[in-house]
């Protein structure tokens, strides 16, 4: 599946098809029989609780383990509020179809949570998922955290339009994703103030041909 097709798949899923768990996290599991892929998909911000978590930047020790993961408090707390339920569903799916690939995907807020879910999947199963996100902010903090989470996954593509302001968040040193796969040509300072366009543009095939 091409990147624009994956983004359009994420957008095409109706809000009521997502499961809402814990601290208002929306997610679903989709099985692609044709491509033999199990996708764990996280939705964008949909409510006031999500926006509160979006701006809860201070870092915290995400897990009491040797890796010492540090993540932005809002996204870390949101994922931990429902991680057992999510992992139970995705692990059950992998047991039914053990030869299928695992892809963990998300847009915006969902892209931040997808990174934490990918680490959690590896932590619980020892298996590595691939991660694909669009317009995701930077939920991880520090080089050690980034290197550890990168070791937990297979392929990573985190698409960020150069005029999308969301991937710039949090706007402080130390915050990071696993990768930044830029699309969209030249950046314009003024375009950063139009997220209604550039945060929703990832479904255009031409972006990925530049």
For residue 188, give the CATH number of its domain.
Answer: 3.40.50.1820
Give the chain's domain count: 1
Contact assessment for residue 45 and residue 54, using Cβ atoms and an 8 Å cutoff: yes
CA 20, CA 43: separation in Å to the nearest integer?
A: 10
Whether the pLDDT of residue 37 is over 60: the answer is yes
Look up the pTM and report it: 0.91
pLDDT at position 176 over 80: yes
Q: List pLDDT tens digits, range 116-172.
A: 999 999 999 999 999 999 999 999 999 999 999 999 999 999 999 999 999 999 988
Q: Give the closest residue to 173 by CA, choosing from 141, 205, 133.
A: 141
**Neighbouring C-beta atoms of residue 16, cutoff 10 Å:** 7
User: Is 210 within the bounds of a domain?
Assistant: no
- Please say whether the beta carbons of 40 and 29 come within 8 A: yes
E strand or H helix that includes residue 129:
strand 129-134
Q: Specify if 48 maps to a domain.
A: yes
Is residue 87 situated within a structural domain? yes
Tell me what pLDDT residue 8 has: 95
Task: Judge whether 115 lies within some domain.
Answer: yes
Q: Which two tokens stand for residue 55?
A: 């701006």
Choose between 75 and 40: higher pLDDT. 40
User: 35 CB contacts (<8 Å, ≥6 apart)?
Assistant: 1, 101
For residue range 69-114, what is the model confidence (pLDDT) as tens digits? 888 888 888 898 999 999 999 999 999 999 999 999 999 989 999 9
Residue 74 belongs to domain spanning: 3-204
Q: Is the pLDDT of residue 209 over 70?
A: yes
Asked if residues 7 and 203 have their Cβ atoms less than 8 Å apart, the reply is: yes
Of residues 133, 119, 118, the one with CA closest to residue 183: 133
């Amino acid at each position: 599946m091409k990147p624009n097709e994956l983004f359009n798949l994420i957008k095409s899923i109706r809000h009521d098809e997502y499961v809402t768990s814990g601290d208002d996290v929306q997610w679903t599991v989709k099985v692609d029989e044709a491509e033999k892929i199990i996708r764990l998909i996280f939705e964008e911000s949909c409510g006031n609780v999500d926006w509160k978590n979006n701006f809860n930047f201070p870092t915290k020790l995400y897990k009491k383990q040797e890796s010492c993961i540090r993540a932005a408090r809002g996204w870390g707390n949101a994922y931990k509020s429902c991680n057992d339920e999510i992992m139970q569903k995705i692990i059950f799916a992998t047991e039914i179809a053990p030869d299928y690939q695992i892809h963990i995907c998300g847009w915006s807020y969902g892209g931040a949570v997808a990174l934490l879910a990918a680490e959690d999947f590896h932590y619980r199963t020892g298996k590595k998922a691939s991660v694909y996100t669009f317009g995701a902010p930077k939920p991880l903090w520090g080089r050690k955290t980034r290197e550890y989470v990168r070791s937990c996954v297979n392929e990573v593509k985190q698409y960020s339009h150069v005029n999308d302001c969301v991937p710039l968040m949090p706007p402080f040193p130390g915050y990071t994703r696993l990768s930044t796969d830029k699309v969209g040509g030249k950046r314009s300072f003024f375009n950063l103030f139009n997220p209604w366009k550039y945060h929703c543009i990832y479904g255009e095939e031409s972006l990925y041909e530049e």
